[in-house]
């Protein structure tokens, strides 16, 4: 029963990683860049929700919408100001700019909200705790909500990518940017939309993360960000189902590793599994194999 409860916790943490990883993988697939500032957008989203609940007195749903809206604006602004001028630059130059952006967001948050950790209000998710097997297995409302949110996001996003015109444009741009441009697709707008979706998802992930682990600091987003990035690579970067599977597996491995192998070595176990997987599948679980042309 303890195993089952650990498994559920792992699924919940993995769902958060998966939602964050979606942002990484979509941006990578379409703009071919590692957006290191993504983890910090999560933190900003959580702070906005915190302010909405604590200071502005908004109801939870409005707080969620406010966080998503402001993060979307933030994502589009970051892309337009910092990444768009570097479309032709080397990938390393873009990477360093993204790192600079990550520092910028962290330090802005430090100035606005201070270094002291804030305790995220628990009113955000009000689901009762579910008791199964005669109180032997308890699943908290936050855990359930996280898993349900993940499933909902997965369905909506898959439909969006495969059914809508914009989704089609995204797939085109990720396949061949030049050809997409020739076919009359507005590449800049497609990339902006990708950033907008990724950032809105980051806001959701931030709220879920801080509901489960209620300490909110300017550096809150960086470690989950790196783990989610690892999850995206684990599943094959650029692939949306890959990000989902990678995120969930990573969360489960982390919680089970901490529970049964060693608490101190939890992170090391996660990264070790990643390395082993990449040795046998060098482009991740669902990544396309790289073909070399001579």
Task: Give me the residues that bind another protein (CB under 8 A), please.
Answer: 28, 34, 82, 85-86, 88-90, 92-93, 95-97, 99-101, 103-104, 106-108, 110-111, 226, 229-230, 233, 237, 262, 264-268, 271-272, 274-275, 278-279, 282-284, 290, 292, 294
* Euclidean distance between CA atoms 193 and 170, whole angstroms: 9
The answer to whether 255 touches 6, Cβ cutoff 8 Å, is yes
Could you identify the residue written with the tokens 């990544």? Answer: 287
Find the helix or strand (DSSP H, E) in which 119 lies.
strand 118-119
Candidates 82, 81, 70; CA nearest to 42 is 70
Least distance from another protein to the Cβ atom of residue 229, Å: 7
The 8-class DSSP code of residue 84 comes to: G
Least distance from another protein to the Cβ atom of residue 10, Å: 19
Please count the other Cβ atoms lying within 10 Å of the Cβ belonging to residue 165. 8
Nearer CB in complex with another protein: 60/267: 267
Least distance from another protein to the Cβ atom of residue 187, Å: 14
Tokens found for residue 113 = 């909200």
Cα 40-44-45 angle, rounded to 5 deg: 115
Nearer CB in complex with another protein: 181/267: 267
Nearer CB in complex with another protein: 165/293: 293
Least distance from another protein to the Cβ atom of residue 1, Å: 27
Nearer CB in complex with another protein: 1/275: 275
Least distance from another protein to the Cβ atom of residue 191, Å: 17
Q: How far from the centroid of its chain's Cα atoms is residue 69's Cα?
A: 16
Least distance from another protein to the Cβ atom of residue 132, Å: 34
Buried-state track 129-161, b at ≥16 Cβ within 10 A, e below 16: eeeeeeeeeebbebbbbbbebbeebbeebeeeb
Nearer CB in complex with another protein: 37/202: 37
Nearer CB in complex with another protein: 118/227: 227
């Amino acid at each position: 029963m303890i195993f089952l409860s650990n498994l559920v916790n792992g699924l919940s943490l993995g769902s958060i990683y998966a939602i964050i990883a979606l942002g990484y993988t979509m941006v990578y697939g379409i703009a071919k860049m590692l957006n290191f500032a993504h983890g910090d957008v999560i933190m900003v989203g959580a702070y906005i929700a915190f302010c909405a609940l604590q200071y502005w007195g908004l109801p939870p749903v409005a707080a969620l919408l406010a966080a998503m809206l402001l993060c979307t604006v933030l994502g589009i602004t970051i892309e337009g100001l910092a990444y768009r001028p570097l479309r032709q630059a080397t990938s390393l130059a873009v990477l360093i700019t993204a790192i600079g952006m990550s520092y910028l967001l962290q330090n802005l948050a430090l100035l606005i909200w201070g270094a002291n950790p804030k305790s995220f209000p628990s009113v955000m998710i009000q689901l009762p705790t579910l008791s199964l097997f005669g109180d032997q297995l308890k699943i908290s409302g936050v855990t359930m909500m996280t898993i349900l949110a993940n499933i909902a996001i997965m369905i909506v996003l898959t439909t969006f990518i495969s059914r809508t015109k914009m989704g089609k444009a995204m797939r085109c741009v990720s396949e061949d940017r030049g050809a997409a441009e020739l076919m009359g697709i507005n590449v800049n707008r497609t990339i902006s939309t990708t950033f907008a979706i990724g950032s809105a998802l980051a806001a959701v992930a931030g709220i879920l993360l801080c509901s489960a682990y209620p300490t909110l600091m300017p550096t809150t987003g960086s470690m989950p960000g790196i783990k989610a990035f690892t999850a995206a690579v684990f599943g094959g970067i650029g692939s949306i189902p890959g990000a989902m599977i990678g995120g969930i597996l990573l969360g489960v491995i982390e919680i089970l590793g901490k529970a049964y192998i060693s608490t101190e070595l939890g992170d090391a176990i996660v990264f070790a599994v990643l390395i082993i997987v990449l040795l046998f599948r060098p482009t991740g679980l669902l990544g396309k194999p790289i073909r070399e042309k001579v």
